[in-house]
């Protein structure tokens, strides 16, 4: 069992039975327990939980439709209604069992319900293990605007048990690796290349590498829990990644990490254009990422749609788009405010690149 101190709770990495999860459940022995799952974690992860831990035998299960397009207010509303119907109180416990969609939305639901109800995260996707379930950001989308509504709120505990990854589809596993690559790109060249190497054998993830990635995120979050400064560096690849994910939601449904991977290539491209990153570093990053993550074909309408989303990004100021830019592989700057025209030019570059390749 590995323990990492987060802000005011602990991350535990190892088999759930060997963690402090059973003890935690005992401390809620008189409380109601509610498990929030989506269709896939219901089918693949739930039975282990309720058959292994007696304290969960009577737990209520709330089943949500899977997919990012369901991280929406109408679904959150229906969960609040269900919690009310089950007479869940402030001292009861919500258990989020799922990927980042469930930990983001379940955390948000718990934090607003009766002004705050205890919750824990049991991430079941790689992306949620290395990123979404830790750090206290919870929220939902507003139509195509990613995480437009949300609160900072920490879980009581996070239990990371990699045996849940056995049923995770490969595409979703790769999605998690994208956030790990981001952790490398913003903090350590060696880590970036170690993760790339591991991505050649995605199902054989080493726990040591998982830990290194979690530690990058946790260290940054502890320095700046409410994202007033340095924590913004974790948004590298996300300004554009969110626009890609939001724009294609309901059509191509590009998984979060894949959108972030493409966003990282594009933001690295902007880093070169802005005179921060060397062409040599860019030429290492671009092919390495695009070998694993497919750039979607971009039409003029797609570009317009993404520009519209970027123009309303929550980090913008005075009409400029706030973007992280790399200075080298392993170092990144925050709070670069770029005009919309830079993004238009960048999208046209990648569109023309595709035309030339075809
Ligand atoms: N709060 C944060 O700091 C933070 C950070 C990064 C990403 N996010 C958010 O996380 C979300 C992306 O997370 P995600 O990629 O985990 O998405 P997800 O929760 O939608 O999971 C991806 C898919 O994998 C399935 N799945 C999950 N675990 C499984 C398992 N063990 N077996 C089989 N199927 C399984 C899900 O049902 C879903 O279909 C986005 O909403 C993103 O905005 C939040």
Per-residue pLDDT of the chain (358 residues; tens, 9 = 90+): 999 999 989 999 999 999 999 999 999 999 999 999 999 999 999 999 999 999 999 999 999 999 999 999 999 999 999 999 999 999 999 999 999 999 999 999 999 999 999 999 999 999 999 999 999 999 999 998 999 999 999 999 999 999 999 999 999 999 999 999 999 999 999 999 999 999 999 999 999 999 999 999 999 999 999 999 999 999 999 999 999 999 999 999 999 999 999 999 999 999 999 999 999 999 999 999 999 999 999 999 999 999 999 998 888 888 899 999 999 999 999 999 999 999 999 999 999 887 665 5
Exactly one of 179, 194, 245, 267 is catalytic; name it. 179
Same domain, residue pair 116 and 214: no
Residue 327, number of CB atoms within 10 A of its CB: 13
Q: Is 147 inside a domain boundary?
A: yes
- Which member of 58, 85, 115, 356 is catalytic? 115
Q: Which residues contact 51 (CB under 8 A, 6 or more apart)?
A: none
Q: Kindly give the number of the ligand 1 atom that is closest to the alpha carbon of 164.
A: 31
Q: Assign residue 117 the CATH number of its domain.
A: 3.40.50.1970
What CA–CA distances, in Å, run from 7 to 57, 156, 224? 31, 10, 10
> Residue 329 C-alpha to ligand 1 middle, in angstroms?
26
Torsion of CA 332, 333, 339, 342, to 10 degrees: -20
Pair 107, 223 in one domain: no
Q: Which residues line ligand 1 (CB under 6 A)?
A: 38, 40-41, 44-45, 66, 68, 71, 98-102, 104, 124-125, 127-128, 131-132, 135, 137, 146-147, 164, 167-168, 172, 175, 255-256
- What is the number of structural domains in the chain? 2
320 is catalytic: no
179 catalytic per annotation: yes
Is the same domain home to 267 and 129? no
Distance CA 195, CA 74 (A): 38
Active-site residue flag, 183: no
The answer to whether residues 190 and 334 belong to one domain is: yes
Nearest to 169 by CA among 125, 205, 121, 104: 125
Q: Are 157 and 136 in contact (CB under 8 A)?
A: no
Distance 255 CA to ligand 1 centre (A): 8
């Amino acid at each position: 069992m590995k323990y990492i101190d987060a802000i005011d709770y602990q991350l535990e990495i190892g088999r759930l039975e060997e963690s402090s999860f059973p003890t935690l459940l005992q401390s809620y022995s008189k409380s109601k327990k509610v498990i929030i799952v989506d269709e896939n974690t219901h089918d693949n992860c739930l039975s282990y939980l309720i058959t292994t831990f007696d304290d969960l035998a009577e737990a209520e299960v709330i089943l949500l439709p899977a997919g990012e397009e369901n991280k929406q207010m109408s679904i959150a509303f229906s969960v609040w209604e269900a919690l009310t119907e089950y007479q869940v109180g402030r001292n009861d416990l919500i258990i989020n069992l799922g990927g980042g969609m469930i930990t983001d939305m379940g955390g948000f639901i718990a934090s607003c319900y009766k002004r705050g109800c205890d919750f824990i995260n049991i991430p079941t996707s790689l992306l949620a293990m290395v990123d979404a379930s830790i750090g206290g950001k919870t929220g939902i989308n507003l139509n195509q605007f990613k995480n437009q509504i949300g609160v900072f709120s920490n879980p009581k505990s996070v239990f990371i048990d990699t045996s849940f990854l056995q049923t995770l589809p490969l595409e979703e596993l790769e999605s998690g690796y994208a956030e790990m690559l981001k952790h490398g790109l913003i903090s350590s060249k060696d880590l970036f290349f170690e993760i790339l190497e591991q991505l050649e054998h995605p199902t054989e993830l080493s726990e040591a590498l998982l830990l290194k990635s979690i530690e990058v995120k946790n260290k940054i979050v502890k320095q700046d829990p409410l994202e007033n400064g340095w924590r913004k560096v974790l948004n590298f690849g996300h300004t554009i990644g969110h626009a890609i994910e939001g724009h294609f939601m309901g059509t191509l449904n590009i998984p979060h990490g894949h959108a972030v991977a493409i966003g990282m290539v594009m933001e690295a491209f902007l880093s070169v254009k802005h005179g921060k990153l060397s062409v040599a570093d860019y030429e290492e990053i671009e092919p390495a990422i695009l070998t694993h993550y497919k750039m979607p074909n971009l039409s003029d309408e797609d570009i317009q749609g993404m520009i519209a989303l970027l123009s309303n990004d929550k980090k913008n100021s005075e009409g400029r788009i706030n973007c992280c830019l790399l200075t080298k592989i392993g170092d990144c700057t925050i709070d670069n405010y770029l005009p919309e025209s830079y993004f238009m030019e960048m999208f046209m570059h990648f569109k023309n690149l595709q035309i030339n390749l075809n």
